Amino acid sequence: MEIPVVRNILEANDRIAEQLKALFTQHKILVLNLISSPGAGKTSLLERTLTDLKDEFTMAVIEGDCMTDNDARRVAATGAQAVQINTEGGCHLDSSMVLSALSSITLDGLDILFVENVGNLVCPVEFDVGEDAKIALLSVTEGDDKPEKYPLLFAESQVMLLNKVDLLPYVDFDVDVALRHAGRINKDIEMFQVSCRSGEGLDIWYDWLRKERSAKAQA
């Protein structure tokens, strides 16, 4: 008789992530894992997206934070289903946390599930939570060297949203440098310049969501 051995924490994570993927595919739910530094604008992006597309899609959010339920309250104010996971010091979400959170979400009829990860450019990238795509947010206040310094996130993401472009006049950030480095790390990454504060550029992000959601529904 073979005894199954869970080799390590990442293998255990991937096993549950596979179960999640099967569940999401069965329900035809597009699942996106949002990863960025603290304060790059993940929650603001969700507030905008949940509001602007509320008549098109049924959407839900799993919020990850070390502490507080601030973000879940912010996104719930848009009318979307929202669940908060507090990692209590943990630096990333993993698939078992997402699995637990699903008990508080109605999957029937759900079109898009956003997972807002803990603010961290490093650790969340290694933990698959059953998503269709990772979405990297980079804000222009963080510096144009971040794709080069934290390459794994940009290598693994399908989309990079360059946020806070309304602040470009006030900071030393070379957009070309950031885009060039991200494109060198990942030649397939799609890059959109947005401001979640002014709304600038969000239409392209919404078009991307429509396209991906449609593909998932037909899969």
Q: Is 77 in the site for its own copies (CB under 8 A)?
A: no
Q: Is 201 in the site for its own copies (CB under 8 A)?
A: no
Q: In this complex, which beta carbon is closest to its own copies, that of residue 89 or of residue 109? A: 89
Shortest distance (Å) from residue 37 CB to its own copies: 5
Amino acid at 171: V
Q: Is 118 in the site for its own copies (CB under 8 A)?
A: yes
Shortest distance (Å) from residue 154 CB to its own copies: 11
Amino acid at 78: T
User: What is the radius of gyration, based on Cα positions, of the chain?
Assistant: 17
Nearest of 28, 84, 40, 44 to residue 61 by alpha carbon? 84
Shortest distance (Å) from residue 119 CB to its own copies: 7
Residues 94-113 that bind its own copies (CB under 8 A): none
Amino acid at 212: E
Q: Residue 208: in which H helix or E strand, if any? A: helix 202-218
Q: Is 213 in the site for its own copies (CB under 8 A)?
A: no
Q: Which of 52, 141, 179, 180 binds its own copies (CB under 8 A)?
A: 141
Q: In this complex, which beta carbon is closest to its own copies, that of residue 107 or of residue 123? A: 123
Q: Which of 27, 78, 99, 148 binds its own copies (CB under 8 A)?
A: 148
Distance CA 191, CA 182 (A): 9
Distance CA 63, CA 71 (A): 7
Q: Is 73 in the site for its own copies (CB under 8 A)?
A: no
Query: Structure tokens of 165?
Result: 């472009």
Distance CA 213, CA 210 (A): 5
Q: Is 33 in the site for its own copies (CB under 8 A)?
A: no
Distance CA 99, CA 170 (A): 42
Distance CA 1, CA 44 (A): 52
Q: Is 23 in the site for its own copies (CB under 8 A)?
A: no
Q: Is 142 in the site for its own copies (CB under 8 A)?
A: yes
Q: Is 211 in the site for its own copies (CB under 8 A)?
A: no
Distance CA 61, CA 32 (A): 10
Q: Is 117 in the site for its own copies (CB under 8 A)?
A: no
Distance CA 60, CA 170 (A): 35
Q: Is 68 in the site for its own copies (CB under 8 A)?
A: yes
**Where on the chain is the footprint of its own copies (CB under 8 A)?**
37-40, 65-68, 70, 89-91, 118-123, 126, 139, 141-143, 145-146, 148-152, 164, 166-167, 170-172, 197
